[in-house]
């Protein structure tokens, strides 16, 4: 509600995944702390959002689109002033390379400008008057109420703002909980929100999700739940809402995107795209390629080159220009990845490069595991880290059946040089996932493209214009001609 509050003085330390040289060798250090809110405090923040919305009578939900846009434009200005601070925190909190951290910030600014542009178009088109059957109607887009926003650690700024910004722009009021890793970087933005929006429009809660979020959901006062995270958590949260059928959910969830390399593929191109797709930001992207299917006739050749290229990768700290593999922010991740590899080895697979080892607690060198098969953890689980499971196939039906039988349905990358064969495969694939990438890695961008998934991978569609629609409802003001 426009105030900085710290209840009871309780704080949590943030330990960076990044190492610094100290007298006792490489060390990780505490880089900050954040206040821990409990249930009562979270409910106070919720009340602020409910009050600012005031059942649709508040200043924000009744403000003109042009005035809301003006507030947002002011906010982008404040955000740009904080770029250096946010970029540094992206490196220190989640280990993202300097280049990728700058990209995440710039992409977010561009996303906001694109969303403002799309809102102007939407407003122009939807507030047109229509006369039909003697009724004059003005078709509008109106807000939905109080939105609870939660973003992921891998794009703590960009993906959080992907929902937060359109939700604000459409006139909703917000409760926002930063992710567990990538928390501190939201602190500089608090002041910017306070300076640019009326009281209670954006309310940020720090603390453990498991402590504060259930109470918010059980209150029944959340109109829209938006989460970029796991489908398990999304399902649990939705069930907590007393009127779950009235709750709108906008969700970006799990994915196990496959690459399929056909017998006639350009192998060097497939290799380049698979390296990007599997290992950008250490494989910690929801859109990452998380399993590679390769036709048996070219498997040896592809694997040899893949192992060579992976072995060349440079591990290091995020600010070092040469770093390609950086520390993982989730402390338990190296042990989980090691367990997946051991499981595959016990069932007949091998690590075919020099990877799989942990340099230091959080720095894990990528492993290529082959041949991965049904029954191994790496076949179905979303490893979300630098391990590349590779599966050989003889018939294209094998990877397609795998995709059909998967709980996930986000994207696929298909590599081949026969246009007729590619064309025949598009429909069976795009009817299972939400994006088919031809001779290219899986990715979200450009952010103006619809971003969603089938099955357990998403609910609702994000992107610039789709997100504006997701956080609003079409309404009509009508009178007789
Ligand atoms: O982690 C999920 C992001 O939406 C991925 O975005 O494909 O641009 O890395 P990206």
* pTM, full prediction: 0.96
Distance CA 322, CA 324 (A): 6
Average pLDDT, the chain: 95
Query: CB of 30 within 8 A of CB of 14?
Result: yes
Cα–ligand 1 centroid distance for 413 (angstroms): 15
Distance CA 441, CA 463 (A): 19
Residues 56-60: contacts with CB within 8 Å, 24+ apart? 56/142, 56/143, 56/145, 58/173, 58/198, 58/200, 59/198, 60/171, 60/173, 60/197, 60/198, 60/201
ipTM: 0.97
Give yes or no for residue 194 having a pLDDT over 80.
yes
Give yes or no for residue 127 having a pLDDT over 90.
no
| 312-324 mean pLDDT | 95
444 lines ligand 1 (CB under 6 A): yes
Cα–ligand 1 centroid distance for 282 (angstroms): 12
Residue 373 tokens read as 């098969």
Q: Which atom of ligand 1 is nearest to the CA of 155?
A: 1
155 lines ligand 1 (CB under 6 A): yes
255 lines ligand 1 (CB under 6 A): no
Q: Which residues contact 306 (CB under 8 A, 6 or more apart)?
A: 271, 274, 275, 353, 368, 388, 390
Give yes or no for residue 391 having a pLDDT over 80.
yes
pLDDT band at 207 (very low <50, low <70, confident <90, very high): confident
For 31-54, what is each residue's pLDDT tens digit? 999 988 888 889 999 999 999 999
Q: What is the per-residue pLDDT for 439?
A: 98
| 467-471 mean pLDDT | 97
Q: What is the per-residue pLDDT for 358?
A: 80
| 196-210 mean pLDDT | 93
| 176-203 mean pLDDT | 95
Q: What is the per-residue pLDDT for 432?
A: 98
**What are residue 224's DSSP bridge partners?**
147, 248
Helix, strand or coil, per DSSP, at residue 128: coil
Cα–ligand 1 centroid distance for 411 (angstroms): 11
| 387-396 mean pLDDT | 98
What is the chain's Cα-based Rg?
24
Q: Which residues contact 304 (CB under 8 A, 6 or more apart)?
A: none
Distance CA 38, CA 206 (A): 9
For 100-125, what is each residue's pLDDT tens digit? 999 999 999 999 999 999 999 998 87
Q: What is the per-residue pLDDT for 359?
A: 75
Residue 99 tokens read as 């280049």
């Amino acid at each position: 509600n426009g105030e900085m509050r710290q209840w009871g003085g309780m704080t949590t330390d943030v330990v960076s995944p990044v190492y610094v040289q100290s007298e006792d060798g490489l060390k990780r250090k505490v880089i900050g702390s954040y206040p821990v809110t409990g249930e009562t405090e979270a409910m106070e923040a919720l009340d602020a959002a409910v009050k600012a919305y005031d059942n649709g009578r508040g200043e924000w939900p009744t403000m003109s689109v042009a005035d809301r846009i003006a507030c947002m434009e002011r906010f982008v200005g404040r955000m740009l002033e904080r770029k250096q601070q946010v970029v540094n925190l992206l490196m220190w909190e989640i280990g993202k390379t300097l280049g990728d951290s700058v990209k995440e910030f710039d992409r977010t600014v561009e996303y906001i400008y694109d969303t403002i542009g799309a809102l102007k178009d939407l407003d122009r088109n939807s507030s047109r008057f229509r006369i039909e059957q003697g009724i004059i109607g003005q078709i509008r887009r109106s807000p939905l109420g109080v939105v609870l926003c939660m973003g992921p650690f891998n794009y703590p700024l960009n993906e959080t703002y992907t929902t937060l910004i359109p939700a604000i722009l459409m006139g909703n009021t917000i409760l926002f909980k930063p992710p567990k890793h990538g928390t501190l970087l939201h602190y500089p933005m608090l002041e910017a929100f306070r300076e640019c929006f009326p009281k209670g429009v954006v309310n940020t809660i720090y603390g453990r999700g498991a402590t504060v979020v259930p109470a918010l959901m059980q209150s029944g006062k959340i109109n829209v739940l938006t989460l970029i995270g796991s489908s398990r958590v999304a399902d649990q949260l939705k069930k907590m809402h007393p009127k779950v059928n009235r709750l709108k959910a906008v969700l970006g969830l799990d994915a196990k995107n496959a690459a399929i390399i056909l017998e006639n593929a350009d192998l060097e191109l497939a290799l380049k795209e698979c390296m990007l797709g599997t290992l950008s930001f250490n494989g910690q992207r929801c859109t990452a390629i998380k399993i590679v299917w390769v036709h048996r006739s070219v498997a040896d050749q592809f694997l040899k080159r893949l192992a060579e290229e992976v072995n060349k990768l440079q591990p290091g700290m995020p600010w070092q220009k040469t770093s390609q593999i950086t520390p993982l922010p989730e402390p338990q991740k190296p042990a989980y990845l090691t367990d997946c590899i051991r499981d595959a080895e016990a069932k007949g697979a091998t690590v075919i490069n020099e990877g799989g080892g942990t340099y230091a607690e959080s720095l894990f060198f990528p492993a290529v595991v082959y041949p991965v098969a049904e029954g191994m953890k790496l076949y179905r689980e979303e490893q979300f880290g630098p391990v590349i499971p590779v599966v050989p196939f003889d018939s294209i039906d094998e990877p397609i059946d795998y995709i059909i039988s998967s709980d996930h349905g986000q994207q696929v990358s298909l590599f081949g040089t026969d246009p007729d064969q590619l064309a025949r495969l598009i429909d069976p694939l795009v009817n299972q996932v939400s994006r088919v990438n031809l001779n290219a890695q899986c990715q979200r961008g450009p952010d103006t493209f619809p971003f969603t998934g089938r099955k357990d991978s998403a609910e609702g569609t994000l992107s610039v214009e789709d997100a504006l629609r997701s956080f609003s409802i079409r309404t009509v003001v009508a009178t007789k001609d």
